[in-house]
Structure 1
């Protein structure tokens, strides 16, 4: 089901609204996406270009001879991926204001998948609020711990 969802960069300079299908998100494991985002994979949601409204135009980096990527040059947030010739844009799931409706439907570029990171549910976990150094820093800045 197509939903209208909003998103943007960390500093708030770049904002967008997109018509997406949250149940069709996917993880890209290609080496170029890993380098572009700094992550072990990146979650994307695909949308036609004409279904994405940039309220502030992002900066664009031509990451290869065939593709470019929107990002914010102020805070560095990667916002997506698009082929130079094509009608669609992949938006980073993490840049949506509420990414909770997204569900991965597939993996892409599995030849580059870092399998040690494929399932980390068995590892011990710590909530941000349980880290006194982080809590203290936010409080010293006069702010509460972000969600």
Structure 2
């Protein structure tokens, strides 16, 4: 049985599905991916075009170079796709997967722009969201109580009807 991988943007306006495993899940540290992600690297994994489908909405596209376009949700801004035109595949952002832990990166690219302190940051102590202490926990409770993030699974409709 072929595994199915699903994902989408933060607000749920754009959803997608990949039929089969993702090829070469990796972290790209190149400066163009840093800018596109608004982060220190972009986690990506590849799918063949015929194994990929958009199941809800339509992404917007930005041509970051001549051969490359990047898909994102125009409603919430989530980066979703990296596509080289003329190539029979598309890369999805691993963080947009419903189960991102299921697809660990196996390689890195663009190491010329990799942050020199990144390995040290991974071993520093951290805390969970529930451990966050800001204004006596009010901030965390307010965020949880007003969360508009799409759940990590497909839904028939989104957003849900408000009662």
TM-score normalised according to structure 1 size:
0.87
Q: Could you list the per-position Cα deviations for residues 101-131 of structure 1 after superposition, in whole angstroms to 9, with x for gaps in the alignment?
A: 1121100111111121135232120111112
The 5-angstrom pairing of residues 102-141 of structure 1 reads 102-131=103-132, 132-138=137-143, 141=146
Corresponding residue for residue 77 of structure 1? 78
CA contact (8 A) 1:22 1:101 kept: no
Aligned residues: 145
Instruction: Report if the CA contact (8 A) 1:82-1:89 is conserved.
Output: yes
> 2-side partners of 1:48 and 1:109: how far apart?
22
**Bigger mean CA offset, 1-10 vs 74-83:** 1-10
* CA deviation after TM superposition for structure 1 residue 136, in Å: 3.0
Change (3 A) 1:142 1:114: closer
d(CA) in 2 for partners of 1:142, 1:81: 28
Moved over 4 A (4+): none
Q: Does 1:66 align with 2:83?
A: no
- Following superposition, the deviation at residue 99 of structure 1 comes to 0.9
Contact 1:2 1:22 (C-alpha < 8 Å) held by counterparts: no
Which whole-Å CA distance do the structure 2 matches of 1:139 and 1:77 have between them? 20
For the aligned residue pairs, the C-alpha RMSD in angstroms reads: 2.4
Unaligned runs of 5+ in 1: none
Asked whether the 8 Å contact 1:24–1:103 carries over to 2, the reply is no
Q: Deviations over 1:29-72 (max 9, x none)?
A: 11000001101001111111111100122111111111001100
